[in-house]
Structure 1
Amino acid sequence: MSEQKKCRCAWLDATKPDYVLYHDLEWGVPVYDDQTLFEFITLESAQAGLSWYTILKKRQGYKNAFANFNVDKVALFTQDDVERLMLDENIVRNRLKINATINNAKQFIDIQKEFGSFSAYQWQFVDNKPIVNNLNYTEETPAITKESTAFAKDLKKRGFKFLGPTTVYAHMQACGMVNDHSNDCFRKEEIIKAFCGE
């Protein structure tokens, strides 16, 4: 099947090649690597109130600004780093969100110490197996679920910021805890076959 004829999720703006690549290669693919999970947590918390594409375009800027998403390094950022980042045009210059990322890095490390990895902690909220939703239209895609609510509630209890149930659900979609590709999207079955053994 040609690239042009592949059916993709209706929410995707197919005129943006970088968005298409993100959809085709990353969105909904199960992630178990802690550094990648910290990246996704950071980007999703930065996205609150903005479009995902705005953050996607700044992804490299975030990578540069936040030590290649090395959680141990970010946890050691100081107020001087916050002031430096407030001048960085390649990220969203929101003081609360920048401070939240540094705070979240510290909480992320605490979870790693408790569970052995953030991945082990995160995946327990879906019983360690991706949830495959039956979606025919974009309008059917939920904004929050009982799983994202429980996940977000636990993160909040542990001191995380800018990660409410809606943002957490977007994170769950991004890192494959749920497969929300629409039924007619070519990626849905590809991901199921690659990661669910079907």
Structure 2
Amino acid sequence: MTTDARLKQHVVRRELHSPKSGLAIVLALIAIVALAWVGTESVLAALGRPALLLSPSAMAAGARGLPSLQPGVLIAVGAVIAVIGLVLVIAALTPGRRGRHIIGAGSTAAVVNDEVIGSALVRTASSVAGISPDRAVAEVGQRSATIRLTPVSGVALDRAAVERAVAEAADGLGVTPAIRTRVVIDKKGKVGG
């Protein structure tokens, strides 16, 4: 692989994936606050002052008393801690994703926001359906796009034609990863053009 190809691959990956710094900062702040609180309680206990919430001796007594709790409570607390741990492990191991796709291949590629893709699909769907673009909304995900149309009251939309046009438009964009399209037509229309 050439240096230019590696550089392009690095830039595209960086634009498509988000860092986990936000989660790391939140977890670090929680740890800092917890340690500051325990440290403050320890200093207050050493100075003979009343505790803010729990004194270190009360914390130790509470920890020693855990085995005497109901087994159901211990299981529930353990399950909650396990779920939190599992969520954190999954968050640490999976890459963050930004709402973007790659358009183009070969030596040049453009990274576009999902809103741009959604706007293009909305424009296509609304023109084929014969409705105003503000009566269509697109939700674009990593591998799928859903276009929701609100028809004019009393006017039926040709679902097959809209689905075909939207699928062709999505294929014509040449996005990577490819997008599966779905058209949803609201059952209740709105009055007006």
User: Relative contact order (C-alpha < 8 Å, sep 6+): which is higher?
Assistant: 1
Same fold (TM over 0.5): no
Range into which the TM-score falls when normalised by the shorter chain: under 0.3
Q: Which has the larger radius of gyration?
A: 2
- TM-score normalised over the length of structure 1: 0.23
TM-score using structure 2 length = 0.23
- Structure with the bigger percentage of strand: 2
